């Protein structure tokens, strides 16, 4: 068992475990209380978000509307991720800043870097007649703006309304959605022993949670893409068919491959045009916690979903061979291995393995057991990942075992990084597990986005 998704199913089905999930809900409502206090402070106007980082705003164009999420941002650098969800071509301009993107085809995407802004920005579609038909919006500046990411609502709630909303969303956890991402893909074994993995890049409807369906750019209809596994010495063939409306290519990130297989068009290969197929072939020379992801219009294609894990070697064994004395697992083995792909942009947005709380998968452990987690960041921001109780020993960075492993409860995972952590459970309970950038985990309506739980029995 690699991914937590089938755990999710057994949790939902199992009566014995149902009470644990309820316990999880109650414990999480209590344990993220501190985050709730921050939201309350903001709604009283005492909070001052003065983020100096970059805020990504999702812009959706349709006939005849410009929808912004969030609709206001802290002063600072702003990048617009624009999607044309309409049935005609549209563009987008910030005239006052002399910044614009040309016409975007139906279903297409574009990015517009506004640079640093400190006052509201008017955004319009410049196609003749579209602005006057309603295609205009104002991106506001304000400290409380990120609070509105969940609902788009600017209404102030009473304390009772806020408590009720928070309880209601927590009760939905773990919410079932139609497809989970990162399912292990069994290779075809060819006559010479080569492991062949067949991937098709295509756009599908994807449930980020039960109430939110987006157009995801996927490998084989999954976000993250299917998990690929092989051993050192294996010959690997990845056959990538492009069924996207635009060209693509696929980089094998953190894997030692010949230059021609590095997947960077137009440098190491030609683009893979819509309808075309490209074959990546290499022999796995060393253990790796590899990513495969788009390297073409990557700032749009990857956050929209084109990323997955490619793991070389048995990492449960590698880690125990080197660190058993520090991990002190009750059974002297690692019982569970999990890949957690972080994302924060594109059509998928803030998510863990392509899902937003309450649709994120919970994990179960017994006291004394160890769960090996490979954090992957495929987004545009660093996420400080925080697991409330089990003890975390950081054992590898980017697929290399550390000489000096270290303990932590919060770990910054920057874009492109992979960190491998051995969590050993020491106490029973339902322990929240979330990104500690507070508005990546909580809204005035309750927990959201990059939150899940580890249930220790
Ligand atoms: Cu985060």
Cα 133 to ligand 1 centre (Å)? 37
Cα 445 to ligand 1 centre (Å)? 18
pLDDT digits (tens, 9 = 90+) for 54-112: 888 889 998 889 988 888 888 888 999 999 888 889 999 999 999 999 999 988 889 99
Cα 301 to ligand 1 centre (Å)? 20
Average pLDDT over residues 305-325: 98
Closest CA to 149 of 235, 57, 80: 57
Does pLDDT of 342 surpass 60? yes
Does pLDDT of 13 surpass 50? no
Q: For residue 46, what are its two tokens?
A: 């005492």
- Of the ranges 140-154, 156-170, 241-255, the best mean pLDDT one: 241-255
Report DSSP letters for 350-375, one per residue.
EEETTB-BTSSPPEEE-TT-EEEEEE
The neighbour count for residue 372, using CB atoms within 10 Å, is 24
Average pLDDT over residues 343-360: 97
pTM recorded for the entire structure:
0.72
Virtual CA dihedral for 329, 319, 335, 344, nearest 10 degrees?
120
Lookup result for tokens 């903001």: 42
Burial class (CB in 10 A: 0-12, 13-18, 19+), 277: middle
Does pLDDT of 32 surpass 80? no
For the chain, the domains span: 5-39+172-176+316-456, 54-141, 188-312
Cα 322 to ligand 1 centre (Å)? 31
Residue 22 is predicted with a pLDDT of 53
Does pLDDT of 294 surpass 90? yes
Report the mean per-residue pLDDT for the chain. Answer: 88
Q: Which residues surround ligand 1, an ion (CB under 5 A)?
A: 383, 435, 437, 440
Cα 68 to ligand 1 centre (Å)? 20
pLDDT digits (tens, 9 = 90+) for 40-51: 333 333 333 333
Give residues with Cβ within 8 angstroms of 383, minimum separation 6.
342, 344, 377, 412, 413, 435, 437, 440, 450
Is-contact 321 362, C-beta < 8 A? no
Cα 436 to ligand 1 centre (Å)? 6
Cα 380 to ligand 1 centre (Å)? 10
pLDDT digits (tens, 9 = 90+) for 129-138: 899 888 999 9
pLDDT digits (tens, 9 = 90+) for 209-229: 999 999 999 999 999 999 999
Q: For residue 292, what are its two tokens?
A: 């495969």
Cα 435 to ligand 1 centre (Å)? 5
Does pLDDT of 9 surpass 50? no
Residue 41 is predicted with a pLDDT of 33
Q: Which fold has domain 54-141?
A: Immunoglobulin-like (2.60.40)
Give residues with Cβ within 8 angstroms of 211, minimum separation 6.
none
- In three-state form (DSSP H/G/I as H, E/B as E, the rest C), the secondary structure along 216-282 is EEEECCECCCCEEEECCCCEEEEEEEECCCCCECEEEECCCCCHHHCCCCCCCCCCECCCCEEEEEE
Residue 43 is predicted with a pLDDT of 34
Q: Does domain 188-312 have CATH number 3.40.50.300?
A: no
Cα 341 to ligand 1 centre (Å)? 12
Burial class (CB in 10 A: 0-12, 13-18, 19+), 325: exposed
Q: How many Å is the Cα radius of gyration of the chain? A: 22
Cα 387 to ligand 1 centre (Å)? 13
Q: Tell me which CATH code domain 5-39+172-176+316-456 carries.
A: 2.60.40.420
């Amino acid at each position: 068992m690699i991914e937590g998704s089938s755990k999710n199913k057994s949790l939902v089905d199992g009566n014995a475990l149902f009470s644990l999930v309820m316990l999880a809900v109650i414990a999480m409502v209590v344990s993220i209380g501190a985050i709730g206090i921050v939201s309350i402070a903001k709604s009283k106007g005492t909070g001052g978000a003065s983020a100096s980082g970059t805020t990504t705003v999702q812009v959706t164009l349709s006939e005849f509307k410009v929808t912004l999420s969030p609709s206001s941002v802290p002063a600072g650098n702003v990048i617009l991720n624009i999607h044309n969800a309409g049935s005609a071509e549209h563009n987008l301009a910030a005239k006052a800043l002399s910044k614009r993107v040309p016409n975007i085809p139906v279903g297409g995407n574009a990015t517009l870097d506004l640079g640093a802004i400190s006052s509201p920005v008017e955004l319009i579609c410049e196609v003749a007649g579209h602005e006057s038909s309603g295609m205009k919006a104002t991106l506001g500046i304000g400290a409380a703006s990120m609070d509105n990411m969940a609902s788009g609502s600017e209404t102030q709630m009473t304390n009772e309304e806020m408590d009720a909303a928070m309880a209601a969303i927590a009760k939905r956890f773990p919410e079932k959605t139609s497809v989970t991402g990162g399912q292990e893909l069994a290779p075809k074994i060819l006559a010479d022993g080569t492991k062949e993995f067949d991937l098709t890049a295509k756009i599908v409807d994807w449930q980020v949670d039960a109430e939110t369906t987006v157009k995801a750019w996927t490998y084989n209809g999954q976000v993250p893409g299917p998990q690929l596994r092989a051993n050192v010495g294996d010959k690997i063939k990845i056959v990538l068919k492009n069924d996207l409306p635009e060209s693509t290519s696929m980089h094998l990130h953190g894997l030692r491959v010949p230059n021609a297989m590095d997947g960077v068009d137009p440098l190491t290969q030609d683009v893979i045009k819509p309808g075309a197929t490209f074959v990546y072939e290499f022999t796995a020379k060393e253990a790796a916690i590899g990513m495969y992801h788009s390297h073409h219009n990557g700032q749009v294609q990857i956050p929209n979903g084109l990323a997955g894990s490619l793991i070389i070697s048995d990492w449960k064994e590698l880690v125990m061979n080197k660190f058993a004395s520090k991990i002190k697992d009750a059974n002297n083995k690692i019982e569970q291995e999990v890949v957690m792909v972080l994302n924060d942009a594109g059509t998928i947005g803030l998510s863990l393995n392509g899902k937003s709380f309450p649709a994120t998968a919970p994990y179960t452990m017994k006291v004394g057991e160890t769960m090996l987690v490979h954090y992957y960041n495929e987004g545009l921001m660093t996420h400080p990942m925080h697991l409330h109780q089990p003890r975390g020993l950081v054992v590898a960075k980017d697929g290399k075992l550390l000489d000096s492993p270290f303990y932590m409860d919060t770990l910054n995972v920057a874009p492109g990084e992979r960190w491998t952590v051995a969590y050993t459970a020491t106490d029973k309970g339902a322990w929240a597990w979330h990104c500690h950038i507070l508005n990546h985990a909580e809204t005035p309506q309750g927990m959201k986005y990059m939150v899940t739980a580890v249930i220790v029995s």
